[in-house]
A = this chain, B = another copy of it.
Amino acid sequence: MVEMRRPIPVAEAVRLVMEHAAPLGTEMVDLEQAYGRVLAEPIIAKHDVPPFDRSPYDGFAIRSLDSEGASGENRVPFSVIGEIGAGYVGDKPIGEKEAYRIMTGAQIPENADAVVMLEQTVETDGGFTLRKPFEAGENISYKGEDAREGELLIEAGSLIHPGTVALLATFGYAEVKVAKRPVAGILSTGTELLDVADELEPGKIRNSNGPMIRAQLKRMGIDYKSYGMAVDDLDACTSIVEKAIAETDLLITTGGVSVGDYDYLPAIYERLGAKVLFNKVAMRPGSVTTVAVLGNKYLFGLSGNPSACFTGFELFTRPAILAMMGGTAPYMPRMTAKLGEDFTKPNPFTRFIRATWTFTEGRIEAVPAGFNKSNAVSSIARGNCLIVLPSGTRGYAEGDEVDILLVGSEQGISEWTL
């Protein structure tokens, strides 16, 4: 009567999910729309950067050989033959003891090979004098010193962040080839669910998982379709899941994955002929998390418990979505921290604890964000990381070193290492 499920380790669950990621293809977007997308082509320098020798300061462009022998006693005079603002070019080469007034970012004029900063000069009528010699190349930003034409600068699969946008703009990428984004479907199941605007009723709670997942998707810049809330009715649920999966690239459901009489998702997966990757993970919260694939689409059966639902999304759904886009750093960044308070429970399964990390007195400390049963909602609203306590461990004491995963970090890491 009670179905026995075989729990698999978290790392295996992650691996199974990731190996089923089906790429969605690419599209061109305007550079202005590119932030947050995944690059589908490498950024290769289309020209040298800087594209020409230029002045890093406001000053005077000279021939260094003309400054030879300059000293306090032997100030060398230069005559200024013109001015080069940024964006302009000198109209003639400079000759002996000639100089151009030059601005930051302006192109070095022909024959010049050094820039004298304003404060190193004394102004004269029609020019200036110098009290020290300059070397060839002094105060010059050379063509190509930042990047060489043809150089591979950023790999495909990288997230486009503001710095990437700057680089794309530099090379004139008015349009960028990016990965298509999946559209996610969201369906909350459970007869106990009320809408956020509803008054509480006996035995019922408001649906918090749906809004939360929509926010988790928004954080990733992923569009979604909401299929509302389904009561615990197998036929009705099956129809909605069928419709949703036809209209979207992946379907996220919450609830209905336990072993109770009204937990229909396993039955629905079977009816639809979906391949269940796993239906039990050796983790808390969220051991009932179930992931299936139907054709090239994912069916994420997340737990109905808010903490478990949150964690299941960040552990499995988020990296899977990034993998569908060819993202090469889909996992939450990991580091270690000192546990900020005792955690006495044993951990038969790997435990993920919502927590806050701070840098305190020279060390990184992680403190559980509060009440930590899987049905806790108040703790999800706090914290910026997940503490990970491996399965098979007993209690932990304050000061013990633990692994943490950073939540809400724009850039991830490429390997799952826990």
Contact = CB atoms under 8 A, between A and B. Distances in A.
A206 B199 CA distance: 56
Contacts of A276: none
Nearest to A221: B218
B89 A161 contact: no
A104 B336 contact: no
Interface string A219-232: 10000000000011
Interface residues of A, number: 119
A107 interface: yes
Interface in A341-383: 354, 358-359, 362, 364, 371, 373-383
A35 B190 contact: no
Contacts of A147: 371, 377-378
A345 to B, nearest CB: 15
Contact of A262 (B49, B86, B231): B86
Contact of A49 (B52, B86, B358, B378): B378
Interface string A256-279: 001111110000000000000000
A10 interface: no
A381 B43 contact: yes
Contact of A211 (B32, B51, B101): B32
Contacts of A207: 169
A87 B36 CA distance: 39
A106 B192 contact: yes
28 contacts: A1-B118, A51-B200, A58-B259, A85-B232, A88-B203, A105-B190, A105-B192, A107-B202, A107-B203, A141-B373, A145-B373, A146-B377, A163-B354, A164-B381, A166-B211, A166-B212, A167-B380, A167-B381, A169-B212, A170-B205, A170-B306, A333-B359, A334-B359, A335-B359, A359-B413, A408-B409, A408-B410, A409-B409
Interface of A: 1-2, 31-32, 34-36, 43, 45, 47, 49-52, 56, 58, 83-89, 101, 103-107, 118-119, 123, 141, 145-147, 153-154, 160-174, 190-193, 196-200, 202-216, 218-219, 231-232, 258-263, 304, 306, 310, 333-336, 354, 358-359, 362, 364, 371, 373-384, 406-411, 413
Given A169-B210, A333-B359, 7 more contacts: A56-B375, A87-B193, A106-B192, A163-B379, A166-B208, A172-B200, A333-B384
